[in-house]
Structures are given as structure tokens and as C-alpha cells.
Chain A
């Protein structure tokens, strides 16, 4: 994996590749994940899940399960519905044609809508007993028509999947500017194509889980849950169970990956909490791999038409984007198609465009979030359109990007849904081409030493809106942090953002350490505990440093002022004469440690002139700029404050005899504004490249014709492994955002869509032929690639790499 060039001795904001705080605890296995906790005497929950994709529930027989030794309780959907409020999918006014809020029960009551839908739960004294008894719950079904594909769900007369919605379209809308129709009609050339992105999910190695117990002495519900948003979870849980929020503590332990998969809104955690409340005991549930692979996070079909002139300049764009969001879910995952639509037209200066989008319900598993959050399909569509232009005009794909990307002088640049903040798109493109040896690789391509394989080179520009302020969501785009100094000279940061395993606490710690003039080792960052930290969004939309770090920086900056004033009072000098160096506050020959200053403020503050109102604790709330949450005069809203971007170049080799694609190298040049910790940003991009590779080539959740999922293990849902990873070359530029406190932008999602689009483009480049431009399908599995090879050749290829003779003994 590549490391980016280090910014030398840059001290501003404490920047630098500090190793991860407590990184050794993770490496040594000393961190306790949720699955490491088994409270003494706890009971175990196992869910009874639908075995059919769509049916009315005719009966749920619990007798055999109840009679199993060790079983304490069996709760059916009908019983649960009387004890716990439904999950809220959409607030009133958002669902397409729905009256009131769109809701879904935690356990199916009278109808199941996907294989794997929980419809009852068994509580037993061991995990195995619970699971065995769950198998004994006898469910009878009256089958209903199964709708798996968009066409089936959208067909006139299709059975309605949800009684609150008039059709199977959950949400939809139009994102537009100018007059796309007229622009396309007047364009000298047009190109049209389809993009189908297969169903997949984020798949962290650690699945979800929840341990809840009723604390009799405190009379509170104490919950540990492998979730990204503990505060928002508590709020929803309080509503569902009819408890005051303050009677619930939610702790999110260290996560083995989040990626949006651990957003709240799934039914299992609230049910575990209900059981703990009812039975006044500890209840534990840890999701199995098969259960985790029921969840989806992407499946899109897009049709695009792009108009352009003889010089390859895009003049108009029309896109229809349909998302198969599976069964109804109350997760933020269903927001992804709308974000995908709002992310058009990327960084291309198209003034006339129209994107019609909809999220469609089917009988596949529900969606939760996934890193990329819809922007990966936007990138794939836009980059496929750019390649189609190159193909039509016979010019290099890089040149099409160069002629259409916004110039840096045009920034900030306003679209219908975004205000692109800062950057130099053309420069990053040129840097990426150089770093990838693009021209040299193009020359190598012409030589083709091996007739059985073909070298492909693809590139993609990716725009990643980050730092979302989701109006109507469980939390806002702002974050709050408290920084507390103690008399040992150490600081404690209490932040509402969580680390899903990214190490965001390290960057937050760096910001605080620099402001206070102390070492990073002297900062403790507390996350993921509703009792200890301020209310916060947890982790979503790459906001941990952007919003959480900025809030911590502000709080620490105020404390810095306290320490400076204390030092000035102690030394009898002006505040302006106080310097901070090597953990000490200095003025002339005077020097004092942070610990001594903290003691001075705490013990003698009341008796020292000018310090009588100073304290050792500060709390700050930070909201990024460049947001438009109240509609402006033209009705425009903007949910994202920052716009990171990058250029990705992929070099692949396609085996023409088998369709197997090997990715040789991925090159990325990235700009997320001010970088606090380059090592952490590199790690994010490296991981995102792996995810993009999976989307492009290997990962897909498949279903049988009757709706049974068939990719419930890692032998069928194939994540990239280390040997699949290419050589990675990374570089960065830093164009600080003018709209955020420190110039930072989000860095957690960049690379997913860019890698996907670049790898797809490289395969297209290798195979050539018109079909690969008209229809893009991911993942590009070997059978699909071989079909593309055949269609480009116009016949089944029986080429092979020449004859062999086994003649010599």
C-alpha cells in the first residue's frame, strides 16, 4: 500500500502521521468487541426468520419451541406489536403518496416481505438452545406473488408491498437545472447507455450485535450495541419502549468496521432491549454472518443520455435512476438513492441536466447504509457517459474529462443541489495521469505481446459530497465536544462522534494536543457512550474530524486561552507575550507546565485577579458552513457542506479465454482539503479501493427465482482478499475548504465509486466493442466478461493462447 508524501514538519493543527492512539491494543487483541462480552447469567435471543419471500402469516406455532428445555420465552410479532412501537421509516410527508409516517413493525405481524424477515424471537439460556428452538417455531404461510426485480415491482397491477403506500415506489424525485430536453435536442452528438450495479452491501468483518440488561439498582436499561449512532439509537429506543431517554444508557464498543452497515433502524436491537426490560435480565444477541448478508445497500439501474459537441463538451444530460431497495427498512440506507441523484452532475460543468430517481420496494432483503452512500452509482454513470463520448468521437477518455471538468476559477460553483467548494480538478487529473504512467501504459497497450490477454486502462473522476446535515434524520450536521483538563496536565475529550474502526480519535486527539501544547499521548478521547459524551451523530458521512474534530479544536482553543491567561497572571506578563513550546507555557525566563497551570486555575483561580471565572472544561458545538437546510427563494436545499474529489486510474489485464480480470494497479490522486493525519487518510483510501474493487468485480448478493438469497457466506459473497489487491499509488493535494473551520473535508468515502468506475472503464477499454459502452453491469464476473468479449468479437471466441503439444516425455 502506498503512503502519501508527508507534509514535512508541518505543525499547524497538529498535523502529521501520528500512529493511532491505542493502536497496539487492537493489534494485541486487548480491545473488547461486543462479541467478547458474555455477562454472567445472561439469556440469549435467536430470531425466527421467514423462509419465504412474500406471504401472509397464517399461523405461528410456538408450542414445540416453548417446550424445549432451557427456553424462557417465545415472542411472536403479534405479541411484540403490543409491547413495542413500530420503527419509523419516513416521517410524514416524505413517502411517495403516503398518509402520515411510514412505519414498519420490529417483528412481522401478519405478512412477511423477504426471506430472513424476523417474525418471532426465542429467549433461552444458551445460544444454541435459542437457535435450535427457533427452528422449531412452526410458521404457516399463505404465499403471495414475489416481486424481485424493478420491472416486477413497478408493473401495473403489481401487488402493493406496503399498505401505507399507493405503489411500490417508496420515494422519488427530480433533480434538475436548465432545460435538459432542449440541450439534448440541440446537441451535435448524443450517446446513450445503461448502467446496472448489482446488489451488494458494506460487509464489515464484525457483524451487528446487542447486549441489554436492566439495572435494578439504578432502574435503568443499560445497552451495549455494535452500532455507529448510539445517541440516535437511544432516542428511538426511548420512543419505542415508552421510557425516558435518560433512563437508558447506550454504549457502542469499539467496532470491527461500520461503513454504514451499523446505522440504526434495524429491528433486532430494539427487540433485545424489550426482552431485557420484560424479563429483568441480561439478554444477548450477536448477528451471524448469514443474517448479516441478508442486508443490501446497493442495486441500481440507470439509463443515461448525454449530448455533446464536436469538441466533446457535454451539453446536456438526462438520467433515470431506479434503486431496488428491497423490503421496507427504517435505516438511513433508504436515503442513498436520493443522495445519488443529488450528486449529479458531479464536477462536470453541465448546466442543463435532469435526473429522475426513485427508490422501489421489492421482496429482497432491506437496505442499510454503505460507504459511498449512493455516490458510487453517480460516479459510475457519469464516468460511463464520459467514456461513451470518448468512444463516439475517437478521442482519449482523459481528454474528455479535461475538457469538461470545472476550472478552479469557477469554484465555488453552484448546482441545483450542491455548492462545490474548492479544488483544482484539472491539476489532480494531470497528476493522476503522470503518477499512473498513463501515456506510457497507452503505448504498452499497442504492443500486445500476448494474444490471450488484453491490457486495459481506465480512469474516473469522483466527487464525494461529505459531512451531511440530514434534515429529518436522527441527528444534525453539527457536533459537540467537551475538553477537560486535569491537574496531571492531561486532557480528556468527550465527543459525540464515534470511530467505526477508522481511528478518527487519533486525529481529534492531535487537534486537541496541538491547541493545548501537550503530547498526543496525554489526550484521552472518549466516544460512544450516551452517559459520558455530548449528544452526537456517531459516525456517518465522514464527519468525525470535519465536525467532531472542529468542535474539539474549538473547545481546546478556549482552554488554551485559559492557560495563556493563567500563565500571564503567573508570570506577570501580557497574554501576547506567552509562548507555548514542548509542553510548557513560556515568557522570557519563565516556564510552567500545563499541569501546574491547571492546578493554579483549579486551586487558586478564585483568588487570582483575572482568573476568577476560568474553568478547566470547555464545550463547543461546531456546524460546518456551506449548507442550505431551509429552502432558499428558489426552493433549493443543500445537505452537504464539503466536496472531496479524486482521480482514479486502473490498469487491468483481461484474460480473453476465461473472462478473469486481474487489477494490476490503481492510482489515485485525492483532495479532501486540509489533512490532519495523512496516515489515516491513506488508510481510508486504501480500504475504499478494496471496496471499489469488490463492487466492480466480485461482490454480489444473488437470489433464486423465488426470492431465496444464495450469497449468505463469504464463499458466495466474495470480498476481495489481499492477493486480489493491486499495487496502489497515492498522492494528494490540499485545497482547504473556505467553508469549514480548519479547511477539512470528509475523507471516509472517497475511492469507492472512483475505483469502481475506473476498473469498469479499464475492462471496457480492454474489451473494446460497442456493447461494453451501451450496457455496463457490475460486478464484472468472469462469465459476464466473457460474454462481453464474445459480443465485441461478434462470435464465441475459441482463440486460446495457441496450440500446445505434450510431445516431449
Chain B
């Protein structure tokens, strides 16, 4: 069955559409959802598109330097305005799939899909983003670190939609992605953000069921052993398991995740 398509023009209309629709599913860029519809691996009765919402495709930088990323802002949008978030732009540059995906895939969509083997969820944790969620009770804010709750699972309810993401004022970021080859989804990612006090927050993705963040105090030298200890401590504290899929088992991911951490910290110096 071909789903009924609704394209709300306001948040109010979106909320009421979601509340009233029969078996709704929300679509942003559609790079993950549309192939699944074509393959009939998911079949919602109603497809709710976010593309007609006001300023949907924009990234707006406010007076405080924080950037609001709209639901249709793509990886290419980030690349056109790298100053809004240098770290997210850097991540966007390495997205697998070439211009077709960069022009179509969205930050909001990647966050909602919550594929453990993907870039953006951990990137949003690293920058300390705030997720603005519209639901039956209005709009609420969820910290990025609490947004993804497991593999392909988020804090969104069945009648919720992620409206936009606010990224705090831009700071220098480092990034490392380890993957099998150009076609490959990431096997481990690490996004590092330096704080004003010199400490560094590193969010690890790709290797775990959901992103995990660790803190490196200012001035602390980190080698492979230390990186592994910090990551294991953070992982156990948050109760997150290592991820395994067809591309790599959990043993391999556990092995290389500290490498990604080290390299993301090193790449802070590159100022890319």
C-alpha cells in the first residue's frame, strides 16, 4: 500500500497531524526511509513530511552564536555554512554516499534513525546539542546525550517528531572515523570538542549501541591504554554495550574505538 502523504506547514499542524494520523511515520530527507518503503520493509499508513515547515532547510545562527539546524538541513547545508558548526561540517564532509546523500540526508533524520554505525548521533553528543521535539503535549527539549537510547531507538514517542537541533556556539572540534572502505558505514567514530578550560569531551559512535561521551582533563596525556580505560569507564557507567553488525564484530570495535579517540584528539590541532 502506498502511504498517505501529509506535509504540515506549521508546528501546530504537525502536532495535530501526528496526533490524529493512522500509523504515522515522519520523513525528513528520506535517504533511509524511502528505500525501505520501496523495498516494502516498512509500510506506514501515513507519511508526515517535515519539508514544508517554516525555514525547514536552514541553519540559523543566533546572537549567542548557537545554531538552530532545521529538519531539512542537509549535510550539504552544513558544508555551505561551516562556521555554524565546524565539527558537524567536518563530519558532513566525510559522509559516505557522495553528493547524492550529502544533498539529501539531514542531521535531524540521521539523529532519528539512530543507526549505531553512523556519524551524526555521536557528533551531536560531542557538541552538546539540544533536540527540540514536538509531541502531543507540545514542544520539549531533550539533550543529545539522552536522545538516542539504543540501536535504532530514540526518546521520540510514536506521535513525536524531531523539529530541529540547537548546536551551542561553535568551538574547535576534532574528528576521526574508521571504516572498512569508501562504501562502508563507520565502524568507530570519535568527535572531540575542546572546552575553554582545556579539557576535551570525546563522543564515541559507530562502535557502541549508542553514543558514549568521555572527558579528558586538561593537560592529561592520553595513550592507547588510557583512552581504553576512559572509554570503558564511561561505557560501563552508562551501561552501553559494544555494537556488532555484518561489517565488524564487537571485539574489533572495542579494539579500535580507543584508536579513534586518540586520533580525534590529535586532529583537534588540525583545525579543519
User: Which residue from B2, B182, B216, B225 sits with its C-beta under 8 Å from A806?
Assistant: B216
Contact in complex: A716, B40 (CB < 8 Å): no
Min CB–CB distance A685 → chain B (angstroms) = 21
Q: Are A716 and B246 also in contact (CB < 8 A) when A786-B252, A802-B223, A807-B198 are?
A: yes
Binds A, one of B11-19, B132-140, B183-191: B183-191
Contact in complex: A806, B185 (CB < 8 Å): no
User: Is A783 located at the chain interface by the 8 A CB criterion?
Assistant: yes
A347 to B221 CA separation, bound complex (whole angstroms): 56
User: Is A27 located at the chain interface by the 8 A CB criterion?
Assistant: no
- Chain A residues whose CB sits within 8 angstroms of the CB of B197 once the complex forms: 809
Min CB–CB distance B136 → chain A (angstroms) = 32
- Chain B residues whose CB sits within 8 angstroms of the CB of A271 once the complex forms: none
User: Is B180 located at the chain interface by the 8 A CB criterion?
Assistant: yes
User: Is A660 located at the chain interface by the 8 A CB criterion?
Assistant: yes
Contact in complex: A806, B218 (CB < 8 Å): yes
User: Is A630 located at the chain interface by the 8 A CB criterion?
Assistant: no
CB closest chain-B residue, reference A722: B182
User: Which residue from A135, A657, A698, A723 sits with its C-beta under 8 Å from B259?
Assistant: A657
Candidate in A660, A804, A809 with the most chain B CB atoms within 10 angstroms: A804
User: Is B81 located at the chain interface by the 8 A CB criterion?
Assistant: no
User: Is A583 located at the chain interface by the 8 A CB criterion?
Assistant: no
User: Which residue from B228, B246, B265 sits with its C-beta under 8 Å from A702?
Assistant: B246
Min CB–CB distance B171 → chain A (angstroms) = 10
Interface of chain A, helix or strand or loop or mixed?
Answer: loop
* A274-290 at interface with B (beta carbon < 8 Å): 288, 290
Contact in complex: A808, B198 (CB < 8 Å): yes
Candidate in B185, B199, B223, B226 with the most chain A CB atoms within 10 angstroms: B223
Q: Are A798 and B40 also in contact (CB < 8 A) when A806-B198, A806-B218, A809-B197 are?
A: no
* B22-37 at interface with A (beta carbon < 8 Å): none
Candidate in B220, B252, B255 with the most chain A CB atoms within 10 angstroms: B255
- Chain B residues whose CB sits within 8 angstroms of the CB of A796 once the complex forms: 255
User: Which residue from A131, A288, A659, A803 sits with its C-beta under 8 Å from B223?
Assistant: A803
A798 to B228 CA separation, bound complex (whole angstroms): 10
Min CB–CB distance B199 → chain A (angstroms) = 7
Q: Are A723 and B178 also in contact (CB < 8 A) when A799-B224, A804-B262, A808-B198 are?
A: no
A676 to B197 CA separation, bound complex (whole angstroms): 68
User: Is B234 located at the chain interface by the 8 A CB criterion?
Assistant: no
- Chain B residues whose CB sits within 8 angstroms of the CB of A128 once the complex forms: 2
A213 to B90 CA separation, bound complex (whole angstroms): 53
User: Is A782 located at the chain interface by the 8 A CB criterion?
Assistant: yes
A721 to B99 CA separation, bound complex (whole angstroms): 13
Min CB–CB distance B44 → chain A (angstroms) = 15
- Chain B residues whose CB sits within 8 angstroms of the CB of A697 once the complex forms: 181
Contact in complex: A809, B252 (CB < 8 Å): no
A801 to B184 CA separation, bound complex (whole angstroms): 24
- Chain B residues whose CB sits within 8 angstroms of the CB of A51 once the complex forms: none
Contact in complex: A716, B247 (CB < 8 Å): yes
A809 to B216 CA separation, bound complex (whole angstroms): 12
- Chain A residues whose CB sits within 8 angstroms of the CB of B226 once the complex forms: 803
Min CB–CB distance B218 → chain A (angstroms) = 6
Given contacts A702-B246, A806-B194, 7 further A-B contacts (CB under 8 A): A128-B2, A660-B178, A720-B183, A798-B224, A806-B219, A806-B268, A809-B194
List chain A positions with a Cβ less than 8 A from chain B.
Answer: 128, 131-132, 135, 288, 290, 657-660, 697-698, 702, 710-711, 714-716, 718-724, 781-783, 786, 796, 798-809
